[in-house]
Structures are given as structure tokens and as C-alpha cells.
A and B are shown apart, each in its own frame.
Chain A
Amino acid sequence: MAETELYKLTETMCGEIDQWIAKFPPERKQSALLASLHIVQKETGWLSTAQLNAVADYLGLAYVTVYEVATFYSMYDLQPVGRHKVHLCNNISCMLNGSEKLSEHVKAKLGVEFGATTTDGKFTLKHAECLAACAGAPAAQIDGVHYENLTPEKIDKILDNLD
């Protein structure tokens, strides 16, 4: 299964992945896949093909299995990303509470469309499906942190405070 591009998981990564593997029965290593991908993604903020292969080999899974999972969940990025990931919710509750206006605002502020990264490599703007924060709609998740009841002014402040 030699791939031209090779990637070796670091010892720390293996250590962390092993902790997850230990939580499941030995023949169910696949259960550690989500966590493993998060662990590896921490390194650069996104997952390269070589990294996906490395995770597959480590867990003894078919490459395509890992590829399926990595493409299914929006928390994984398969392309280089900016230093900060901004996910704006676009589902129904947020929509009713002004997420469309918020989206337009953020797009204009950052100068990028959804799914793209600012030229300075600072922000990647993405849609999120319902963040389970409907009570605080409109909501966003920025670098893994939830923000609720957002307005253009509020989100400006949050984004301006990031370096």
C-alpha cells in the first residue's frame, strides 16, 4: 500500500490515539477514528491525504473508510485553512433570527465567500449545520468556541480580538 507521499504520526499523536483505542474492544478500533482525526488535525488545522492514510494504517482501516468519515463531518478540513476557523450556523432557528444578515456582514468584513480563506491566511469562513444552540440563535462556532445571540457588532468584536 505504499503511497508516494508519506506521513508518520508523531509519538504524541500515537500516544493520544492509543488512549482512545483503549476505550473500545480490540476489534473495534474503528471507533477511535473520529478522535484520531481530531488529534492529527491539531497539527496544521487540516488533514492531508498522507495524514489520512497514516491514520488508516495505524487503525488498520481501509483508506476509503477514513476518507468517508473525514469528508462526512464538517469539523475536518481537507484543505489548508487559516489560523482561525469561523463557522456560522445557517439552519432554521438562526436563519429566523438574522443569520443571513450576519453572514453577509462577515463575508463583507473578511472579503471571502463561504468555504474560503482570507488571503492573509488568518480566517477560514465556513457554514455550520445546527450547532444545537437554537435558543441563542443566531450562533457561531469560532475556533471550537460557541458564541450566541450574535449581531454584526458582536461578531466584529470577537473577530477583531483574534490575532
Chain B
Amino acid sequence: MIELEIDGKKVEAEPGNMIIQVADAMGVYIPRFCYHKKLSIAANCRMCLVEVEKIGKPVPACATPISQGMRVFTKSEKALAAQRAVMEFLLINHPLDCPICDQGGECELQDLALGYGDDLSRYTEGKRAVDDENLGSLIATDMTRCIHCTRCVRFGTEVAGMRELGTVWRGEHMEIKTFVGKSLTSEVSGNIIDLCPVGALTSKPYRYTARAWELQQRYTIAPHDCLGSHLNVHVRRNEVMRVVPRESEAINETWLSDRDRFSYTGLKSEDRLNQPMIKQSGHWQSVSWEVALEYMLEALKKVIAVQGPEQAAGIISPSATLEESYLFQRLLRGLGCPNIDHRLRQIDFADQDSMPLYPGLKVKIADLEQQRAVLIIGANVRQEQPLLALRLRKANLKGAQIFCINPIDYQVNFNLNQKLICHPTLLPEMLAGIIKAILVKQAIEAPTTIAEQLKSIQVTEQQQAIAEALSVNQPSTILLGAIAQQHPQAATLRSLASLLAELTGASVNLLTEGANTAGAWLAGAVPHRGAVGLTQDKLGQTIAELFAEPRKAYVLFNVEPAQDCANPKQVTKALQQADLVVALTPYNTPYLQQHADVLLPIAHHAETSGTYVNAEGEWQSFAAVVSAPEQVKPGWKVLRVLGNLADLADFNYTASTEIRDELQGMLANHSLKVAKQVQPRINLAYTKHPLTRITEWPMYRVDGLVRRALPLQQAASHDSVGIRINSKMIEQLQLAAGGLATVEQAGESVTLPVILDERIPQGCALIAGGFAETEVLAESFGAITIHV
């Protein structure tokens, strides 16, 4: 510990700290532009000059390490004179166009100019002007305002791991630019809006729509991935104007993914459902809530009574709140129907009885940085959980070795020590090879469940290296992503991962879909367990069975069936033949018009109170940030009324927090005992199709809200839907890159552009889900044929 004095106050701090860090911790404000606690020190703006006893010239507080007995003066005459002089220089070339600048009112330069600037400029020469950059649909630029603090450049280089912006030319001519006018492609690019201390980089969707002082700030949780980033939503007259991060060291630090930041732009979609509607003899009509709910309940009860409870099914989004999921399953179970599921894109549930209380992370998000070795299996981390990839990048920079097994050679923002890229059907075998490497090395006998199957596997050097790294470098961790969990052999992959974890001491972590998979499990939105994992007398069937063997009634909660589910073709067929399809939905789409019988308008996440449980098990509750329009009601309220109408006991909640508290109480009194560690189910056998479809849900296609966020759709235009395939396959199938070709799957066909993509393995084509264009197709990893 070093003792020093700042503005006359004694303070102790660790050696190595800079003056500004100690001052910040004490609450002494030193003006700054280039310094940011999450970025490297550049010391280029000089705004932070302070006086230090026995040093002749003022020194930059952000780049001067503290020393024993140091006496710092941040507001002495000398310090202030230096700060004022710097401010005068910074304003020389600044356009001073605050009245037309979006940053006005929340601008660090404006604030400091007020404190340190002069009323009148002594500079009468011409100012320079800089051409603006077109950075794409998310970020607006006014580069003449730039003060060259380089925060945006350092963010790209250091945090995002994508060097897209740079400082070009020099001296008076210096400019912040992309490389010859490219848009930004980083999935976390929006953070430079927050970082830019002036109005050079601002939000494009928000541009010229509001002033900072008109906004009210409300707190909520991000609704798209399993991290549950903290958001501040800025609202004006019941309208969401923009979203910014709320600092949370444990989860999102000071960052936000572009998806979480800009998805609010989808809130005001034109296809919003504002009124309950029912379809009678083929005609839709708007009705009152009473009529709609009575109608729906009668019809549902009738199916259950006449056709049997197994003929009804409830499908709920993994991004529905904990409260919604809980009431949803209570309602259906209360009516006698145990068929409830939220695992929209999964197909293999063979190990569901041995699942823990909820799938998720064993390691805290922040602790991912401390891992020494990481194995990623079937995950496109940068797209699935952009901020989790940033943590992996940090771990990597600290020396962690990172490996992946993936069907696609995804671009990552860290260094991969080894990557095993293989045909998707070979994922289990690749993983088994690593297990074999350890068994052989340590001369351990293989468990009987797998011994026979391991015999034929050849261990490669790469697999050996991974096995070694995971065992030697502790802590180590295994991450299973969306592709692993949507895989036809997902259960095998999970079992293998557990086995590998046992052998190496690594932890197994599931990167789950949506914002609330953990909450859905806790709430009992699974067919085989009730809330908090309670065993059920009546076991339901999984979503795969519920669509493979069509039922007579479906209740859908915030699901767009053909874009959100694993096998759209099958789903559509099932809905077509059903007697009753009820959709609780924010949207009124042509698809639902065609296939549903009752549409109940429910609120978006921003319009409801509720709780998300993130992948690390953190319960995060939030209130509505705006109220729902017209007749739209929060989902939990609709379900509550339905429960009451159906005469189910204990459905009289007055606030969503009561529902959460009820669940928490149940959890405290019950701990799930996973029956007995059901023998890991491992089956490496696979059917290899001549041509396999790989399906992923691109980052901006994962749910209804992002799909409607136009700026995000424009930002991802380079990632448009098509048949992505490598050049060898293009030749083999006699296709033309850039031309059109027809994909056939399970008797359905669509014509799509052929996109050359060398990341795709032989024998496969990547055809994304979540698009209207591909909603007639079938299984995620099924057989396809492609022809011109």
C-alpha cells in the first residue's frame, strides 16, 4: 500500500494505480476524455492534467502512477490553468454545433467546456472539417466533432477484438476512419456510441428523435440471450426512445451487444396485434377479452374432455418470463394437460431425466475470464452471447487456451489454439476422441456405456492436445452452445461432455437459448417436471413428439411457430390439422391468421413486469418500462384471468412479484434429486445423408422482436438468407455462386441464392432458420438435395 494525498485528503492505494484511479475511487473528479476504466491508457487528450508537488510541469492523472508521499492537487491554480489551456486547444477545431448535435445535454465535451472553457474563442483562423463515415445502419457519424481521444479505436482493438476503426493521416489531418469506407460488422459496435465523449459517434436509429433531458430512465433486463444484461431504457411519453447499458460488473460490465441495444426498434412493428381476435367459420373478428378468453377456454376444455388431455399441447418461448412460464404450465396442468415445452429448437431429449434443476452455467460469467482452458462445442459464441465471447477473449489474452469443435469454422474474436471443424454428424465422435485420448494416456478403463464405441476411434494429435490442456490447465471449462443442443445427438453430446468433465476436472456449461431457459425449467415449463423440478404424476411429451404426432389443440405463447421451431414443416402440418390453435402473441401475422383460431394480444417484455433467470441462475426481476398499447395485456395477467375463469385454485395474484415469491418459496422447500444419475446415454452411431442441412438461427433472427428491428436487419444484410456452401460443393452440385438454386427437404422446396462460404464443411449446406424464406423446410440437420 502506498500513502498519498489528493487535494489535501490522505488516501492509501495499491502501487501501480494511476492518480485518476485513486481519485475516482475517492470521488474526486478529474476531467478526462481519453481515459476509460475498461480501456488501455492512451493519455492523448491531456484534459486530466493535475499538479503534483515537486514536479515542475502538470502531469496527466490518467498516466501518472502514484508514489509514496505524493501530493496531488487537482484544482490548484496551476492544474486549472493547464486544464483550461487544454480545453481551449480541444475547442479550436471543434464545430461547437451543440444545438444540432444529438449528444447535446449529455456530452462530456459540452460539460467540461462549461466548466473549463472560455465564453469567447481567441481562435479566429479557419476550422478544419472532416468527411463523415458511413458506418452502417446503427451508428451515425459527425467526424468534424471528433477530438481524437481514440476510445472508439481502442475499444475495437482491445475489447471487441475487431480492428475496424483506425486513426489515419496525422497531426492536423488526423481522422478516425474505417478502412476505406466500410460499415462496422462487430456485434458489439454500439458501445462506441457510449464511449465517444463527444457527438462524433451517435446512435443512428435514435438520431434527432429526442433530447437527453426529455427522457426518463428505467431499468430492465435484456430479453435475447441467457446472460441477462442490465439495461437502462430511455422513455419519453410512454415510448422507448433508446436503450443503453446499465453497468453490472458481474454480467455485462459497461457493455451491451448490438442486439440488446437496438432490438427496441422492433417494438413498434406494423404487425402488432392490438385486440383479441377469434376466427369463426373462416372469418376473423375482433372481440372483447371476455369473449376471447371464454371462447378459448371452452374450446380447449372441450378438446381435453372429448379427445383426451394428451391431445393438447402448450408451447412457450424460452424468452417468456419466469412468471409467464409458471402460470402457463399451471394453467395447462390444471386443465389436465401435461404436454408443455419451451425447447423450441431442440430435438433430442433422451437425457432429460438426468438434467439438473435447470441447464446453464456452472461458472459465473465474470469467472470465465479466469479459466485457463476452454473447450467450445457446437457454438457460435460471438453471435449467440456476444458479451460472453468478450469474456473468453479476456481469458484468452490472459493466457487461456481455447479450443472448439464446430461444424462451421466460425470467426471468433480470440485465438483458437486448436479447432476441430467437422461434418455435424461427426461432432460426437470428435468429442469422444478427446475422451479416448485421456483414457489411453491415464490408462483408465473406458466406462461400459462407451467402451465398445470408442474402439474404432482414432485419436488425433489435436484431440490429444485438447485433452492434455483441459486436464493440466485448471480451472478449465466446457461450453455447449446452440448447435450442440439443437443437434440430433444432443443428449450424447451432453453426456460425453459430462464424462470429459469428470475425467479432466473441467466444468460443463450449457449456453442456453433465449433469455429465460433456466427460468422455464424452474417454472416447470417442461413436460417431465413441474415447478422447481417437482415430480409429476402425469408425464407429458416433449415438443418433438408433440409436433411429430399432431395434436388436436395447441396453445402457443409468444412463439412464431415456423420461424422459431426446429422443424417448421412438421409444425405447420400439425397446426393445420389441429381443431384449435390459440396464440398468445404480440403479433398478428399472416401465418397466424392462416393457422390459428384465437389470437390474444400480449405485451412485449418492455411492457410487462417479470423475472428472467439467467444462465448462471441469477433471478433478475424488472418492472414494465412502458405500458402496453390498446387492448394488449401482460402475459401473466392473461394467464391469471384464464386460471380464474377455469376455476383453478390459487390463481389470485395481484402482482407478478407474488408469483415469483411463490416460486422462490417452493424452491426453498424443495431440492431436486435427479432420480439416480441415469446412465449417460451415449450413442455415436449416426446416419450420414448424402447432403446435410446445417441450420443456425443468425443473431438477428432469434426471436420475433429482433426479426422486426429494421436497423439490425440492415446491419446484418451481408448475412442474408441463402444456401451457404463451399466452392468444392458448388462445383460438385454444378451450382453457380450468386445464382439461384432449389433446396428440397422432406418434399418441400424453396429457391434461394447460392452463397459461396468456405467455412461450410463438405457434404453440407448452411440454410438458416428464423427467416420467412426457409419456413417451409424441415429438420435442422436433415437430408436435403440442391439443384439449379
A interface vs B, CB < 8 Å?
Answer: 49, 62-65, 67-68, 71-72
B-side contacts of A67, CB under 8 Å: 166, 168, 177, 179-180
The answer on a CB contact under 8 Å between A64 and B169 is no
User: Looking at chain A's contact residues, is the secondary structure mostly helix, strand, loop, or mixed?
Assistant: helix
In the complex, 14 of the A-B residue pairs with CB atoms within 8 angstroms, ordered by the A residue number, are A49-B180, A62-B163, A62-B164, A64-B163, A64-B164, A64-B168, A64-B177, A64-B179, A65-B163, A67-B179, A68-B166, A71-B168, A71-B170, A72-B170
Complex: A138 Cα to B707 Cα, angstroms:
65
The 8 Å CB contact of A72, one of B162, B164, B169, B179, is: B169
- Give the interface centre of A64, A65, A68 by most chain B CB atoms within 10 Å: A64
B-side contacts of A62, CB under 8 Å: 162-164, 166, 179
Which residue of chain B lies nearest to A63 when distances are taken between CB atoms in the complex? Answer: B179
Q: Is the CB of A68 within 8 A of B180?
A: no
Cα A27 to Cα B170 with chains together (Å):
27
Which A residues are in CB contact (< 8 Å) with B163? 62, 64-65
Q: How near does chain A come to B136, taking the closest CB pair, in angstroms?
A: 15
Judged by a CB distance under 8 angstroms, whether B178 is at the interface is yes
Q: How far is the CA of A64 from the CA of B150 in the complex (A)?
A: 14
For A49, list chain B residues within 8 Å (CB).
180
User: Which residues of chain A have C-beta atoms less than 8 A from B170's C-beta?
Assistant: 71-72
Which residues in B have their C-beta under 8 angstroms from that of A64? 163-166, 168, 177-179
Residues of A within 8 A of B167 (CB): 68
Task: Report how far A67 CA is from B375 CA in the complex, Å.
Answer: 35
CA distance A139 to B695 in the complex (A): 66
| Assembly CA distance A62 to B153 (angstroms) | 12
Shortest Cβ distance from B151 into chain A, in angstroms? 16
Residue of B nearest to A62 (CB): B163
Q: How far is the CA of A71 from the CA of B169 in the complex (A)?
A: 5
Which residues of chain B are near A71, meaning CB under 8 Å? Answer: 168-170
Tell me the residues in window 152-204 of chain B with beta carbons closer than 8 Å to chain A beta carbons: 162-170, 177-180
Since A62-B164, A67-B179, A68-B167 are in contact, a sample of 11 more A-B pairs with Cβ atoms closer than 8 Å, ordered by chain A residue number, is A62-B162, A62-B163, A63-B180, A64-B164, A64-B178, A67-B166, A67-B180, A68-B166, A71-B168, A71-B169, A71-B170
**B134 CB → nearest A CB, Å:** 15
8 A-B pairs with the lowest CB-CB distances in the bound complex, closest first? A62-B163, A64-B166, A64-B179, A63-B179, A71-B168, A68-B166, A71-B169, A72-B170
In the bound complex, residues from chain B placing their C-beta under 8 Å from that of A63 are 179-180
Q: Are A65's CB and B180's CB within 8 A?
A: no
Interchain CA distance A64-B175 in the complex, whole Å: 12
Question: Which one of B162, B167, B178, B179 has the highest number of Cβ atoms from chain A below 10 Å of its Cβ?
Answer: B179
Instruction: Write out the residue numbers on chain A whose beta carbons fall within 8 Å of the beta carbon of B164.
Output: 62, 64
| Cβ-defined contact, A65 with B166, below 8 A | yes
Q: Which of B353-385 contact A (CB under 8 A)?
A: none
* B183 CB to nearest A CB, Å: 13
Please give the distance in Å from B319's CB to the nearest CB on chain A: 34
CA separation between A12 and B164, bound complex, in Å?
Answer: 30
CA distance A71 to B168 in the complex (A): 6
Give Cα A63 to B166, complex, Å. Answer: 9
Most buried by A among B168, B169, B178: B168
**CA of A62 to CA of B180 in the docked complex: distance in angstroms?**
13
